[in-house]
Amino acid sequence: MLQRIQTIYMILAALSMGALYQWFPSLTDDSGAVVMAKNNPLLLGLMGGVVLLCILSILNFKKRQLQFVLNRLAIILNFVLLGVFVYRSLTVSGETLVSEKGIGMLLPIISIVFLVLANKAIKRDEDLVKSVDRLR
């Protein structure tokens, strides 16, 4: 349901991961060897996994507990993706300009923030439903 705020947050998280794939730079070292590229199966799998979990979470709008769990899994995948980015960028030999790494490495953090906000909204909805059930 698009009228719930957590759906908007999950859409923004999925869009940030799509933007990460679109704008992700290819890191090369001084010798010209590609260290990290967007067609890497590990990075592609992690980014696709986050987007898939966000879409599944949006489609399961009637099952709030499942949405909460799927969002937590997406947050974990984002942390793994962020760890891969940090590891690969720190293992580049030689001097690499910060601007070459780009802002793409910060997009998992933005996605994590949106997923945490979505989980807070899901929790608020779940608490509201439980309080209404107590009155019956």
Domains of the chain by residue range = 5-135
pLDDT in the model for residue 78: 94
* CA contacts within 13 A on the Cβ side of 89: 20
Helices 41-59 and 107-135 cross at an angle (nearest 10°) of 20
- The C-alpha angle with vertex 67 and arms to 83 and 7, in degrees rounded to 5, equals 90
pTM of the model: 0.83
**Helix or strand (DSSP H, E) at 69:** helix 64-90
pLDDT in the model for residue 99: 45
The CATH class of the 5-135 domain is mainly alpha
86: tokens are 């940090």
Q: For each of the chain's 136 residues, which pLDDT tens digit applies?
A: 667 898 999 999 999 888 877 776 666 656 666 666 767 888 889 888 999 999 999 998 888 899 999 999 999 999 999 898 888 777 766 555 544 555 667 888 999 999 999 999 999 988 888 888 776 6
